[in-house]
């Protein structure tokens, strides 16, 4: 089924010394644009009788009105609560009756619709997606229920494993008033301020074909699918408002520490971040190798030190969030309360070692092999392929970005690697968040920088402004 | 629901692993489609009893290698609870030929990644790697099946890792804490009462001798089945496995688990009070059959209609209509011995647990007295059919699907006619399963809520 292209064969020869002899080759896609501006990507793949859809609408939490964080996420959830001729119950029944999956959510920069249906039900899938995006009921009763549940769910989430919220607090603390700091799901306070009229306005001004991408992958014939998509989405209107522009945030200078007090917590969960890299960063391949060696796999520097050698934690990781502008570059771990200082100290030592120690060729080679060896399974299912191609289109990148990725990884040498390390925090220039039992760890944390304190039960993910310095929105 | 993975998974995975998993329910319609490639499997049982199943799939240039050992929490006893899971960690920590850490360094350096999980029934080791790494990975796997070694310092360090895992999955997770207590209450005789992660005092006290004897007993080739799915040629792979694993000696069959849980004689109720939480959670667990029970598939479909997804009865009643719960879910244990059928509801802060219980009881009574509708059964089948195909999209999904049928049902080939078996489930079977399992005297009801001190805050 996968016939390597000539290019793939050439890459394969280049890669012989370091990785798979067969490069990943995605199934071919058709791409076209409807008159209303909708970008459509069709990628047939006939291995199992399923079809997946991924809709991406540019905007996301970036267009949440000030003080009403969580708007786009709530709108996304409301889209599936009745649309077209169906009320909320009829809509979920229509999906379930054919064993389908259909959901809408928001991310920082987009609204996402994702669906997976049996191939025989592809027409119904398109109809439901199109109804939800173009003709949502946006009913008051469903809005009231969803909003209340969203507020309560945040409280319930705070009861559970703090890993679920660590990066929400982390991004809010790192980016502060920059739009990337906004909690995509909102906060208890911001959700309480939301009205249905806000969401109706958001739908009119921000959801439209002109800024949307529809990516389909799976068991279908492209010509028939093209006709069906054109019929169903051809009349989708354009959005009224301008797409959002976002500036690059400022990298933190000097340390700042946020303690999120969770009384009774038996572990401390810590996150140390700075401004990282954007989706289109030309040094991406090198940065990905740095992330791998620093905290992206089991034998990474962080996991080796904090878990394997010292038994302090179940895991330690480093991650890069790539958006249209640089997102967070952060590492995080957790440990028993009385070991908090030891674990953070060790992690910071590892962070400094990353920046000051020259990478060994063996380690660099190991990282290259690992990233290349783990790459193909990211493009295995219809849903993975549909999503990946939609996200490339969102960020204006060609599909060769995927097909040439392993080649780029293979080409990263020691100098490029050394330069790419700067993406992670260094020295004392960081934003640090610690969720834990404040009574037991507050005094320890002051050594890492000035400490601001809040409670996990506070209805926002950022501390209230201490004085007039921080503008409120 | 007891799976305890070794690695720090991606966050969502971690949370999903703690929630009762969605049913892996293969299914079908009147004319089930054939599984592509079902005729290409190769199977060999080596002289030492190691069974190997190979399913070639050349979609991507990668391989999934899953090794299933028939050992889990049910093989433990007081004093060594959690040992199967701890052992899973130790399988990565050194052999007589490779120092601690060497396994992971070699595998990752060859482009592979790995994980493992332990349940009450089994321990499963998973490797994902580019096909070029096949020989390296087989060397590593055969080495640790034959020559595992225990370093006292590493044992102590790994205790700390498991403790951290326990703090995250039980102490700092209300659902984990509640299910652990309910499991321990629902079973009074059978070892399913032990948490897979282990009771804390046992985590502190198991010894080198416990590990050594566990290894000899359970990590024998005749107690394992290996699944290789992906970009391989079956004959070549079988030869490579024969050459590496063929000389590992078989061991006497492990002692059978013979304890049968006596029939429950009345409802059991527990309350867990926890400091620092806001949202209560209510769950019910009924004794049900093993994976091989005739009732297993009907019960899966029944629970799906009852509490899986937004169209389900309990979601519509508790979440949408009454606004009493934030979400509901269900799961069915699927092991060697009779396990539990679970239903749970997450309440909002200050939620009314009595009202939730009353509403669930009303829905259960209605289900038992009136039965499922034909439409609900048809929907549950369709959901199962789509999930069946979703599970077969990836090489790791195929390895998992083959393994669970081989280990729990006795034959991996049952995967391929599972759509037909699901299609054959009748309304009558589903309704009889409801009447025989969802009885009040057969259940344990558990509630976790903020401790009295915390509610005053």
Measured between beta carbons, the chain A residues lying within 8 angstroms of B136 are none
Chain B closest CA to A303's CA: distance in Å? 10
- Closest Cα in chain B to A119: B386
B305 touching A (Cβ < 8 Å) = no
Cβ–Cβ under 8 Å, residues B293 and B286: no
CA separation, residue A223 to residues A209, A473, B332, B429 (Å)? 21, 49, 43, 44
Chain B closest CA to A24's CA: distance in Å? 7
User: Would you place residue B25 in the very low, low, confident or very high pLDDT band (cuts 50, 70, 90)?
Assistant: very low
Contact: B164, A117; criterion CB under 8 Å: no
pLDDT per position in chain A (473 positions), as tens? 333 343 343 333 334 344 444 567 789 999 999 999 999 999 999 999 999 999 999 999 999 998 999 999 999 999 999 999 999 999 999 999 999 999 999 999 999 999 999 999 999 999 999 999 999 999 999 999 999 999 999 988 998 889 999 999 999 999 999 999 999 999 999 999 999 999 999 999 999 999 999 999 999 999 999 999 999 999 999 999 988 999 999 999 999 999 999 998 999 999 999 999 999 999 999 999 999 999 999 999 999 999 989 989 989 999 999 999 999 999 999 999 999 999 999 999 999 999 999 999 999 999 999 999 999 999 999 999 999 999 999 999 999 999 899 999 999 999 999 999 999 999 999 999 999 999 999 999 999 999 999 999 999 999 987 644 443 33
Q: Which of B289, B281, B245, B325 is nearest to B65 (CA)?
A: B245
Q: Six-digit token pair at A100?
A: 């389908």
Run of H or E including B424: none
- Closest Cα in chain A to B25: A99
* Domain co-membership, A181 together with A322: no
Is B326 strand, coil or helix? Answer: coil
- Judged against a pLDDT cut of 80, whether residue B18 lies above it is answered with no
**Residue B214, C-beta contacts closer than 8 angstroms, at least 6 positions apart:** B71, B83, B84, B87
Name the pTM for this structure. Answer: 0.91
Backbone φ and ψ for A247, nearest 5 degrees, come out as: -80, 165
A248 lies in a domain?
A: no
Tell me which residue in A49, A101, A163 faces B11 most closely, judged by beta carbons.
A163
A3 lies in a domain?
A: no
Q: Six-digit token pair at B161?
A: 């890792």
Measured between beta carbons, the chain A residues lying within 8 angstroms of B384 are 99
- Judged against a pLDDT cut of 60, whether residue B12 lies above it is answered with no
What residue numbers bound the domain in which A343 lies?
256-455
Q: Which of A443, A450, A451 is nearest to A259 (CA)?
A: A451
* Domain co-membership, A290 together with A195: no
B387 touching A (Cβ < 8 Å) = yes
**Could you report the per-residue pLDDT of B386-411, keeping only the tens digit for each?**
999 999 999 999 999 999 999 999 99
Length of chain A: 473
Residue with tokens 């010292």: A310
Contact: A377, B171; criterion CB under 8 Å: no
How far is it, in rounded angstroms, from Cα B110 to Cα A365?
A: 9
Contact: A266, B14; criterion CB under 8 Å: no
A446 touching B (Cβ < 8 Å) = no
Give the CATH number of domain B4-9+33-245. Answer: 3.30.830.10
* Domain co-membership, A352 together with A431: yes
Q: Which of B17, B35, B60 to mutate to test the interface with A (most CBs of A within 10 A)?
A: B60
**Could you report the per-residue pLDDT of B71-130, keeping only the tens digit for each?**
999 999 999 999 999 999 999 999 999 999 999 999 999 999 999 999 999 999 999 999
Starting at the earlier edge strand, list the strands of the sheet with A30-33: A30-33, A39-44, A212-218, A50-58, A110-118, A101-106
Structural domains counted in chain A: 2
* Domain co-membership, A166 together with A212: yes
Beta bridge partners, B130, equal: B62
Is B65 strand, coil or helix? Answer: strand
Q: Where do the domains of chain B lie? A: 4-9+33-245, 268-456
Residue with tokens 């349940």: B119
Tell me which residue in A265, A299, A314 faces B276 most closely, judged by beta carbons.
A265
A171 lies in a domain?
A: yes
Cβ–Cβ under 8 Å, residues A320 and A277: yes
A5 lies in a domain?
A: no
The beta strands (E) that lie in B37-181 are given as 42-45, 51-56, 62-69, 113-118, 123-130
pLDDT of A243: 87
Which residues 184-243 of A have a C-beta within 8 angstroms of B? none
* Domain co-membership, A71 together with A218: yes
How far is it, in rounded angstroms, from Cα A392 to Cα A400?
A: 10
Chain B closest CA to A49's CA: distance in Å? 7
DSSP state, residue B148: B
A445 lies in a domain?
A: yes
CA atoms within 13 A on the CB side of B55: 27
- State the architecture of B268-456 in CATH terms: 2-Layer Sandwich (3.30)
A360 touching B (Cβ < 8 Å) = no
How far is it, in rounded angstroms, from Cα B157 to Cα B297?
A: 43
Cβ–Cβ under 8 Å, residues A292 and A367: yes
pLDDT of B1: 43
- Closest Cα in chain A to B448: A159
B262 touching A (Cβ < 8 Å) = no
A265 touching B (Cβ < 8 Å) = yes
A338 touching B (Cβ < 8 Å) = no
Q: Which of A56, A108, A72, A58 is nearest to A213 (CA)?
A: A56
Contact: A164, B11; criterion CB under 8 Å: yes
Cβ–Cβ under 8 Å, residues A58 and A393: no
Run of H or E including B133: none
Contact: A373, B112; criterion CB under 8 Å: yes
* Domain co-membership, A141 together with A212: yes
* Domain co-membership, A362 together with A308: yes
DSSP state, residue B49: S
* Domain co-membership, A222 together with A264: no
A105 touching B (Cβ < 8 Å) = no
Boundary-marking domain end, from A200, A233, A266: A233
**DSSP letter string over B222-262?**
GGEEEEEEES--HHHHHHHHHHHHTTSPP-PPPPP----PP
pLDDT of B171: 81
B423 touching A (Cβ < 8 Å) = no
A20 lies in a domain?
A: no
3-state secondary structure chain A: CCCCCHHHHHHHHHHCCCCCCCCCCCCCCEEEECCCCCEEEEEECCCCCEEEEEEEEECHHHHCCCCCCCHHHHHHHHHCCCECCECHHHHHHHHHHCCCEEEEEECCCEEEEEEEEEHHHHHHHHHHHHHHHHCECCCHHHHHHHHHHHHHHHHHHHHCCCHHHHHHHHHHHHHCCCHHHCCCCCCHHHHHCCCHHHHHHHHHHHCCHHHEEEEEEECCCHHHHHHHHHHHHCCCCCCCCCCCCCCCCCCCCCCEEEEEECCCCCEEEEEEEEECCCCCCCCHHHHHHHHHHHHCCCCCHHHHHHHHHCCCCCCEEEEEEECCCEEEEEEEEEEEHHHHHHHHHHHHHHHHHHHHCCCCHHHHHHHHHHHHHCCHHHHCCHHHHHHHHHHHHHCCCCCHHHHCHHHHHHHCCHHHHHHHHHHCCECCECEEEEEECHHHHHHHHHHHCCEEEEECCCCCCCCCCCCCCCCCC
A141 touching B (Cβ < 8 Å) = no
* Domain co-membership, A187 together with A291: no
Chain B closest CA to A376's CA: distance in Å? 6
- ipTM, 2 dp: 0.89
* Domain co-membership, A365 together with A419: yes
**Residue B457, C-beta contacts closer than 8 angstroms, at least 6 positions apart:** none
Run of H or E including B341: strand B340-346
CA angle B332–B338–B341, rounded 5-degree value: 25
How far is it, in rounded angstroms, from Cα B356 to Cα A105?
A: 28
Run of H or E including B203: helix B200-205
Which residues 21-60 of A have a C-beta within 8 angstroms of B? 21-22, 24, 47-50
* Domain co-membership, A227 together with A332: no
Q: Six-digit token pair at B400?
A: 């998992």
- Closest Cα in chain A to B93: A308
* Domain co-membership, A185 together with A332: no
Measured between beta carbons, the chain B residues lying within 8 angstroms of A366 are 105, 108-109
**Could you report the per-residue pLDDT of B418-436, keeping only the tens digit for each?**
889 999 999 999 999 999 9
- Judged against a pLDDT cut of 70, whether residue B310 lies above it is answered with yes
Contact: B389, A159; criterion CB under 8 Å: no
Which residues 226-245 of B have a C-beta within 8 angstroms of A? 231
Backbone φ and ψ for B363, nearest 5 degrees, come out as: -65, -35
Chain A closest CA to B207's CA: distance in Å? 17
C-alpha dihedral, A285 to A287 to A293 to A298, nearest 10°: -80
Chain A closest CA to B225's CA: distance in Å? 24
A293 lies in a domain?
A: yes
Contact: B311, A93; criterion CB under 8 Å: yes
Domain CATH code at residue A394? 3.30.830.10
Contact: A97, B171; criterion CB under 8 Å: no
Contact: B111, A374; criterion CB under 8 Å: yes
Q: Which of B226, B87, B214, B256 is nearest to B158 (CA)?
A: B87
How far is it, in rounded angstroms, from Cα B170 to Cα B179?
A: 9
Measured between beta carbons, the chain A residues lying within 8 angstroms of B101 are 299, 304, 308
B103 touching A (Cβ < 8 Å) = no
């Amino acid at each position: 089924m996968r016939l390597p292209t000539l290019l793939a064969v050439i890459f394969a020869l280049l890669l012989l010394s370091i990785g798979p002899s067969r490069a990943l080759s995605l199934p071919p896609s058709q791409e076209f644009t409807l008159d209303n501006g909708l970008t459509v990507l069709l990628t047939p793949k006939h291995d199992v009788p399923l079809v997946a859809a991924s809709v991406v609408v540019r905007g996301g939490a970036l267009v949440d009105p000030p003080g009403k964080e969580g708007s786009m996420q709530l709108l996304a959830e409301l889209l599936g609560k009745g649309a077209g001729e169906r009320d909320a119950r009829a809509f979920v029944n229509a999906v379930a009756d054919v064993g389908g999956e259909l959901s809408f959510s928001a991310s920082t920069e987009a609204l996402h619709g994702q669906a997976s249906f049996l191939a025989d039900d592809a027409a119904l899938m398109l109809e439901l997606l199109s109804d939800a995006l173009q003709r949502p009921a946006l009913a008051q009763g469903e809005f009231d229920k969803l909003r209340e549940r969203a507020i309560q769910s945040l409280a319930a989430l705070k009861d559970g494993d703090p890993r679920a919220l660590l990066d929400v607090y982390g991004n809010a603390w790192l980016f502060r008033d920059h739009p990337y700091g906004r909690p995509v799901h909102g906060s208890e306070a911001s959700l309480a301020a939301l009205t249905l009229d806000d969401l109706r306005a958001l739908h009119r001004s921000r959801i439209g074909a002109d800024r949307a991408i529809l990516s389909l992958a799976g068991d279908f014939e492209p010509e028939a699918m093209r006709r069906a998509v054109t019929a169903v989405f051809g009349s989708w209107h354009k959005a009224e408002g301008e797409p959002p522009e976002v500036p690059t945030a400022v990298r933190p200078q000097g340390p700042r520490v946020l303690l999120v007090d969770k009384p009774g917590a038996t572990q401390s969960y810590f996150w140390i971040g700075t401004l990282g890299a954007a989706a289109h960063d030309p040094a991406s391949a090198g940065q990905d190798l740095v992330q791998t060696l620093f905290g992206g796999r089991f034998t990474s520097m962080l996991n080796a030190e904090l878990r394997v050698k010292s038994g302090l934690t179940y895991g330690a990781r480093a991650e890069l969030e790539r958006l249209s502008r640089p997102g967070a570059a952060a590492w995080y771990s957790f440990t028993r309360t009385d070991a908090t200082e030891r674990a953070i100290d060790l992690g910071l030592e590892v962070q400094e070692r990353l920046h000051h120690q020259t990478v060994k060729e063996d380690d660099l080679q190991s990282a290259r092999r690992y990233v290349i060896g783990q790459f193909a399974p990211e493009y295995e299912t219809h849903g993975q392929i549909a999503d990946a191609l939609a996200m490339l289109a969102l960020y204006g990148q060609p599909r060769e970005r995927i097909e040439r990725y392993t080649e780029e990884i293979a080409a990263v040498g020691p100098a490029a690697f050394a330069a790419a390390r700067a993406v992670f925090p260094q020295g004392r220039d960081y934003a640090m968040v610690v969720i834990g039992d404040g009574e037991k760890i507050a005094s320890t944390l002051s050594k890492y920088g000035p400490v601001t304190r809040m409670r996990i039960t506070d209805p926002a993910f950022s501390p209230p402004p201490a004085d007039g310095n921080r503008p409120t929105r | 629901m007891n799976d305890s993975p070794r690695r720090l998974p991606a966050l969502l995975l971690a949370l999903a692993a703690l929630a009762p998993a969605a049913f892996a329910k293969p299914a079908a319609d009147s004319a089930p489609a054939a599984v592509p490639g079902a005729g290409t499997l190769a199977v060999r049982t080596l002289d030492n009893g190691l069974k190997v199943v190979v399913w070639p799939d050349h979609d991507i240039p990668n391989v999934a290698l899953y090794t299933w050992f028939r050992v889990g929490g049910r093989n433990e006893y007081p004093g060594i609870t959690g040992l199967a899971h701890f052992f899973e960690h130790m399988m990565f920590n050194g052999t007589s030929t490779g120092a601690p850490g060497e396994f992971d360094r070699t595998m990752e350096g060859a482009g592979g990644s790995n994980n493992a999980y332990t349940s009450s029934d089994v321990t499963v080791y998973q490797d994902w790697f580019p096909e070029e790494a096949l020989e390296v990975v087989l060397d590593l796997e055969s080495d640790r099946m034959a020559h595992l070694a225990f370093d006292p310092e590493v044992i102590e360090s790994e205790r700390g890792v498991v403790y951290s895992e326990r703090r995250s999955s039980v102490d700092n997770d209300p659902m984990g804490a509640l299910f652990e207590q309910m499991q321990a209450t629902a079973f009074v005789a059978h070892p399913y009462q032990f948490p897979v992660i282990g009771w804390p005092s046992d985590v502190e006290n198991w010894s080198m001798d416990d590990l050594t004897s566990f290894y000899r007993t359970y990590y024998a080739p005749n107690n394992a089945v290996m699944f290789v799915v992906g970009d391989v040629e079956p004959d070549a792979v079988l030869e490579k496995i024969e050459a590496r694993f063929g000389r590992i000696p078989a061991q006497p069959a492990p002692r059978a688990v013979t304890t049968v849980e006596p029939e429950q004689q009345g409802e059991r109720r527990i309350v867990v009070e926890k400091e620092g939480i806001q949202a209560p959670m209510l769950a019910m667990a009924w004794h049900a059959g093993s994976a091989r029970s005739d009732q297993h598939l009907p019960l899966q479909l029944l629970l799906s209609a009852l509490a899986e997804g937004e169209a389900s009865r309990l979601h519509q009643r508790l979440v949408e209509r009454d606004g009493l719960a934030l979400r509901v879910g269900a799961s069915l244990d699927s092991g060697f011995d009779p396990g539990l059928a679970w239903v749970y509801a997450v309440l909002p802060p200050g939620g009314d647990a009595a009202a939730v219980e009353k509403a669930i009881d009303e829905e259960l009574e209605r289900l038992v007295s009136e039965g499922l509708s034909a439409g609900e059964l048809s929907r549950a089948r369709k959901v199962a059919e789509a999930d069946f195909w979703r599970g077969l999209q990836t090489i790791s999904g195929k390895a998992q699907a083959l393994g669970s049928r081989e280990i729990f049902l006795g034959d991996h080939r049952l995967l391929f006619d599972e759509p037909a078996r699901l299609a054959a489930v009748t309304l009558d079977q589903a309704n009889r399963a409801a009447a025989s399992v969802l009885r009040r005297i057969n259940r344990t009801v558990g509630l976790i809520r903020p401790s009295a001190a915390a509610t005053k805050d």
